[in-house]
Structure 1
Amino acid sequence: MKKNTRFSAPPPIRIGILGCANIARQFTRDVAPSPAARIVAVASRNAETAAAFAAAQGIGRHHGSYEALLADPEVDVVYLPLPNSLHAEWAIKAAEAGKHVLCEKPLATGLAQARAMFDAAQRHGVLLLEAYPYYFQPQTGRMLSLLQGGEVGEVRSVHAGFGFTLGNPQANIRMQADLGGGALLDAGSYPLSLIRLVMG
């Protein structure tokens, strides 16, 4: 008689959000339906901001410092929506705390920062991933299949563009150069990422 073996799904990965940026609200909304992941904590440099964000988004715990979230044993992964200029510092600190890192794009503001981030992740045995959702969407897999299978032919040139209108550019963090803003790092990182993927 064959034994009936039941397999259960692994427990959801527990995510902590490092910062209360607008994109973190969208991230929380989009993660909520997934059985594979659960947002368990959020941190801000201001405890009241963290508490308000947690209450509005239905997150169980909040921390009044980034360091406190990194020390939280209930957090497996840190989602990093901080200004671009802070990505390297906090991704490295998260890796040193043994947390996997999902970092908003652009991963870093320069090559040296990116190398330091990946070195820290490798040293501490954690995953560091830049948050491009299109990597995991079905059309991307199909596109790569067409390209790699030779159905399209040899790719010799790629032209890509991506943009949107900013309502109040003077006050928008995307336009603050000292925080790693600017069109290339913000919107331009999408087509550059796609070009690198397509060209191998």
Structure 2
Amino acid sequence: MCSASAQRRSRHRYSYDEYLAYERDSGTKHEYEDGEITAMAGGSRRHNALASRISAALEAARRSGCVAFQSDQRVRVLATGKATYPDATMVCGPIEGDPADPSGQTITNPTLIVEVLSPSTEEEDRGNKWQHYQMIPALREYVLVSQAQSRIECYRRLPGGVWEYRDATEGAVMLLAGATIEIASLYADLPD
């Protein structure tokens, strides 16, 4: 989801329990990292259309035993404590909830994470967030979708834990989750 460009609530260090309580009572989504709560900025029409199309492709290709989620699904990296709301997520196998979240609304084992890049979030999505996501043992694929150009980038975890990078600007991208994303179709008739 379009995130971290929004302002930090304050310099107070919040516990994860305080963050969950704040999220429960808030009308907006927030990310959590190192005791800081960051409001997530809303996405543009273009961003939302791309995220919707990716989610639809994931759902259409969903295999038995896999569940696709849209941007309202919170993901927590247990190794670092960071909590985020990716634009799309898929879990293949049993869903593992966050043991620290009594509501059961946070997952910890996504197989696939998709982020639609925004000018305000691209650096975070490519840098800090990506560093955290790599710490999720179940994660097999991290996908970045550009708004500025017809481009999909995929990081795929190979046996042994090495990440392979692929970049596509035309044709189709086959995701591990089984979805084939036709780049021309994904970017056709997008709003500004």
Which band: TM-score by shorter chain? Answer: 0.3 to 0.5
Greater relative CO, 1 or 2 (CA 8 Å, sep 6+): 2
TM-score by length of 2: 0.35
